[in-house]
Structure 1
Amino acid sequence: AAPGRRPARVALRAAEMQQGEQVPQHVAFILDGNGRWASARGLPRSMGHAAGIRTAMQVIQDCMDLGVTTVTLYALSTENLRRPAAEVDHLFKAFEVTLDAQRSVMIERGIRFVAIGDRSLLSPSLQRKVDETERETAEACGDAPKMTVCVAAAYGSRQEITGVARALAGRA
């Protein structure tokens, strides 16, 4: 779906599930192509990222309305961190602004926020925002969140495999 618009497939699946189909407990989305979408329209990549964030927020709400209990958003790969510094800085700042804007909404709706990935690769201010949001939503939701939103940031399959291999080697 184009950033900023409700994905047609989510709307279609919502209609189907309202007819009695079982709702999945965990769904995952890869947030990809927002910069390309903007560039193809002659817009700054940052506008594509902003539109993608709006779409992600709508998808989370749609999933919550359907009764999905866990949503994972693959938002920022380790490969994305190789982009020009200005773009990476913008992505970090957009993530911070979104956390600030959505933290009280998550608490009000009973959403627990969790981040996965190598936080050391994030800016110090973003690391603090992620930690604050995780802590505050966990405290507010306790052991019974209505939904968990997991954001994969500074996350990559190679990094994950390497981490598991190191952990296993340490046990040997």
Structure 2
Amino acid sequence: MPKDPFSEMTGGPRHVAIIMDGNGRWAQARGRPRLFGHHAGARRVREVVEACPDLGIEYLTIFAFSTENWKRTQVEVAGLMTLFRRYITKETRALSERGVCVRFIGDRVRLDNKLVTLMDTLEEKTRDNARVNLTIALNYGGRDEVARATKRLAQDVAQGKLNPDDVDEETLPRYLDTCVLPDPDLVIRTSGEARISNFLLWQSAYAEYEFIDTLWPDFTADELGRLCRSYGARDRRFGAVRA
């Protein structure tokens, strides 16, 4: 039976995706180095994750490091990689105890082996949790993801596993990093910037967007709740017209 486009018109978002922007500016406004802001932003993640169940959010996807972020200074990139390793090491037990299932999306080839091992371990330890599904986009870019997915799809066609005539808009999502996730309902970007920065390009075709001025280290569970309530008041028609 075709999905009723109006079935998702009421209630809060099931899947929220966040572009966590403004860490560097938050730190610089306090006369501190940019990495100070990234550490503050990492601490903010815990509060937001813990708020999700009470808000009815089953899936939370956060943009931690983009394929374009390698263009930053070596000092900042190295500091961020160290921060990711420390965050995973420190938070693994807490995430597991709180019933959080963690997944990583993005291209792991460029990441160092120690970080990839920690990522694999965290995924394995939390794979059976279901209270909140936390997806961390690390070395992720929407265009890169689509390119990698298309390559895998083309390989299946070349090997005779997939008929080209059967390829449609339902086929490609099965090859994306997010193949086990529902599409995001609400995408939030902090820090006052109004662009999507190559984040979940395919998946967000019908997502609602919120661009807010709050810098990520100042983002709170209360603000997340306000945005979820605002989402619930929207009339989502998915291209159709209410009868």
Fold shared by both chains (TM-score > 0.5): yes
Alignment pair present for 1:152 and 2:137:
yes
Q: Could you state the TM-score of these two structures normalised by the residue count of structure 1?
A: 0.80
Aligned to 2:29: 40
Aligned equivalents of 1:77, 1:64: Cα separation in 2: 27
Aligned to 1:169: 154
Gaps of 5+ in 2: 1-9, 159-243
> Residue 81 of structure 1 is aligned with which of 55, 70, 79?
70
Instruction: Write out per-residue CA displacement over residues 126-157 of structure 1, whole angstroms, 9 at most, x where no aligned residue.
Output: 11110110011115x2xxx1111000000012
* Pairwise CA distance, 1:65: 2.7
> Residue 135 of structure 1 is aligned with which of 111, 115, 124?
124
Preserved CA contact (<8 Å) 2:102 2:127: yes
Q: Which has the larger radius of gyration?
A: 2
Once the two structures are superposed, the pairs formed by residues 13-32 of structure 1 within 5 Å of their partners are 22-32=11-21
Aligned equivalents of 2:149, 2:123: Cα separation in 1: 23
Q: CA RMSD in A?
A: 1.6
Gaps of 5+ in 1: 1-20
Instruction: Write out per-residue CA displacement over residues 27-53 of structure 1, whole angstroms, 9 at most, x where no aligned residue.
Output: 110112211221233211111001111
Alignment pair present for 1:59 and 2:48:
yes
Structure showing greater relative contact order (alpha-carbon pairs closer than 8 Å, 6 or more residues apart): 2
Give the letter aligned to residue 135 of structure 2: C
* Pairwise CA distance, 1:71: 0.4
Question: Secondary structure in 2 aligned to 1:91?
Answer: helix
Question: Secondary structure in 2 aligned to 1:60?
Answer: helix
Q: How many correspondences in the alignment?
A: 148
Question: Secondary structure in 2 aligned to 1:120?
Answer: coil
Alignment pair present for 1:126 and 2:111:
no
Q: Could you state the TM-score of these two structures normalised by the residue count of structure 2?
A: 0.57
Question: Secondary structure in 2 aligned to 1:119?
Answer: coil
Runs of 4+ aligned structure 1 residues displaced above 3 Å come to none
Aligned to 2:90: 101
Aligned equivalents of 1:168, 1:110: Cα separation in 2: 34
- Cα distance change of structure 1 residues 35 and 115 upon mapping to structure 2, 3 Å threshold: same
* Pairwise CA distance, 1:158: 2.2
Aligned equivalents of 1:89, 1:70: Cα separation in 2: 29
Aligned equivalents of 2:88, 2:99: Cα separation in 1: 15
Higher helix residue share: 1
Give the letter aligned to residue 145 of structure 2: E
Question: Secondary structure in 2 aligned to 1:121?
Answer: coil
